[in-house]
Structure 1
Amino acid sequence: MLVVLRDAWATVVPDGKDRHGPLPPLMLALTVVTGLVDAFSYLGLGHVFVANMTGNVVFSGFAIAGAVGFSLAASLAALAAFAVGALLGGRVAHGARAHRGRVLHLALVVETVLVLAAYVIAEAAATPYAGTSQYALIALLGLAMGVQNAAARVLAVPDLTTTVLTLTITGIASDSRAAGGSGGKAGRRLLSAVAMFSGGLIGAVTVLHGGLALPLLFAAMLLAAATIAAFTLTRTDAAWTDPA
């Protein structure tokens, strides 16, 4: 347990000499954002995810089979928007790849603008969301999460992909001492799961008991704070900024 706590602490308050520098806590913040926006999309836009593309692929199969409550058009729209966002994020990230701090900052600027635009539409549109407003929100949020995922892929901070937990949870179990492994990185992996759970929980509570658009407001505020923090990272040439 002490090892897990030490690893978790090192993720939240990383050593300046760590290979990934101050990136881990910022990636955790983006993981919370994922939970928030997916809570909004699944509960507010129908059975569709804007960050979890595995879910949308499965949902597409459900919709084709005729399962009630699933929309093939919505799932495909989310997949398409995410792919375009990933393309945009890849262009941004590869353009600044010589400096990981700049990669993160540029991606966050784009993502923050997209999520903020989605919040404005969500506040202005009639609920329940349908038609143009529904697909505009799916498109904006899918684009935003595609950008985020592309940046996370380029930054390559281990166990902090921000949108996918399957391999993270697999690592917790398969690398544990009970499985004969070293038990390393369990704290970081658990924090990643807790971050997404927290975002999903807060998002669901606000959708169900507050206001439909509130998760997007919280996500935009968190992204704005992360953008400001990332801007300070663009001015350093510390070893962690080198993608090599």
Structure 2
Amino acid sequence: MLVVLRDAWTTVVPDREDRHGPLPPVMLALTVVTGLVDAFSYLVLGHVFVANMTGNVVFSGFAIAGAAGFSLAASLAALAAFAVGALLGGRIAHRTRAHRGQLLHMALILESVLVLAAYAVAQSTGSPYDGDARYALIALLGLGMGVQNAASRALAVPDLTTTVLTLTITGIASDSRAAGGKGGKVGRRTLSALAMFIGGLVGAVAVLHGNPALPLLLASLLLLGATAATHVLARSDAPWTDPL
């Protein structure tokens, strides 16, 4: 248990000599953002994810089969927006690959603008979001999440992908001592899952018991905080800023 707690602590408060420097806590914050925006998209925009693309691929199959409550057009729109966002994030990553802090900072600026724009649309149109408003929100959020995932992939901080938890949860079990492994990184992996859970929980509570657009406001505030933090990181010359 002490090993797990130590691993969790060093993720939240990383050692200065850690290869990934201060990136882990920022990635945890972005994982919370993922939970918030997917809570909004699924609960408010109707059975569509803007961050977890595996769900949209499956939902597309459901829609084609005629299952009620699923929209092929919405799922395809989310997939397309995410892919374009990943393309934009990839361009940022390739242009700033020499400095990981600059890479993350530039990606967060763009993501923050997109999520803030989505919040503005949500506030100005009001729920329920139908027609053009619905697809504008899917497009803006899908673009933002695509940028985030491309940056996360380029940064390659272990077990902190900000979106995909399937392999993270698999690692908790398959690398455990019960499975014959060394039980490594359980604390970090658990924090990653917990961050997504908290984002989803807070987002759902906000939608069901408050303002439907509130998850986007909370996500925007987290992103702005992370962007401000990475402004400092973008000027660092510490070893962690070097490309992997």
Q: Which residue of 2 aligns with 1:221?
A: 221
Give, in whole Å, the separation in 2 of the partners of 1:240 and 1:180: 32
Distance 2:173 2:202 in 1: 27
Paired letter, 1:39? A
Q: Which residue of 2 aligns with 1:43?
A: 43
What is aligned with 2:142? Answer: 142
AA aligned to 1:240 is: W
Cα deviations across residues 140-192 of structure 1 (Å, max 9, x unaligned)? Answer: 00000000000000000000000100000000000001101000100000000
Q: Which runs of 4+ in 1 moved over 6 A?
A: none
Matched, 1:70 2:70: yes
* Inter-partner Cα distance in structure 2 for 1:125 and 1:32: 25
Report the Cα distance in structure 2 between the residues aligned to 1:127 and 1:199, rounded to whole angstroms.
21
Amino acid at match of 1:159: D
Aligned AA (1:145): M
In structure 1, the residue matched to 2:194 is 194
SS in 1 for 2:117: helix
List aligned pairs for 1:146-165, cutoff 5 A: 146-165=146-165
Q: Tell me whether 119-128 or 41-50 shows the greater mean CA deviation.
A: 119-128
Q: Distance in 2 between matches of 1:56 and 1:125?
A: 25
Q: Once the two structures are superposed, what CA deviation does each residue of 1:186-224 show, in whole Å capped at 9, x if it has no partner?
A: 000000000000000000000000010000000000000
Aligned pairs for 1:20-99 (under 5 A) are 20-99=20-99
Q: Which SS does the other structure have where 2:183 is aligned?
A: coil
Alpha-carbon displacement from aligned partner over 1:5-51 (angstroms, at most 9, x marks no partner): 00000000000100000000000000000000000000000000000
Counterpart residue identity of residue 20, structure 1: H
Amino acid at match of 1:131: G
The code of the aligned residue for 1:103 comes to L
Partner of residue 185, structure 2:
185
Question: How far has the Cα of 1:127 moved from its partner?
Answer: 1.6
Displacement of 1:235 in angstroms is 1.1
Residue 227 of structure 1: how far off its partner (Å): 0.2
Report the RMSD for the aligned CA atoms in angstroms.
0.4
C-alpha displacement of 1:226: 0.2
Q: How far is the alpha carbon of 1:243 from its aligned partner?
A: 1.0
Q: TM-score, normalised by structure 2?
A: 0.99
**Which residue type is aligned with residue 8 of structure 1?**
A
TM-score by length of structure 1 reads 0.99
CA displacement at 1:126 relative to structure 2: 3.1
Once residues 20 and 230 of structure 2 are traced to their aligned partners in structure 1, the CA distance between those partners, rounded to angstroms, is: 13
1:114-155 CA distances to partner (integer Å, 9 max, x unpaired)? 000000000111321110000000000000000000000000
AA aligned to 1:104 is L
Amino acid at match of 1:127: S
Residue type of the alignment partner of 2:23:
L
- Work out the CA distance in 2 between the residues paired with 1:126 and 1:202: 20
Please report how far the alpha carbon of residue 107 of structure 1 lies from its aligned counterpart in structure 2 after TM superposition.
0.3
Partner of 1:104: 104
- In 2, Cα distance between the equivalents of 1:143 and 1:161? 17
Unaligned runs of 5+ in 2: none
Q: Which runs of 5+ in 1 are unaligned?
A: none
Question: Which string of whole-angstrom CA distances, capped at 9 and with x for unpartnered residues, describes residues 47-103 of structure 1?
Answer: 000000000000000000000000000000000000000000000111000000000
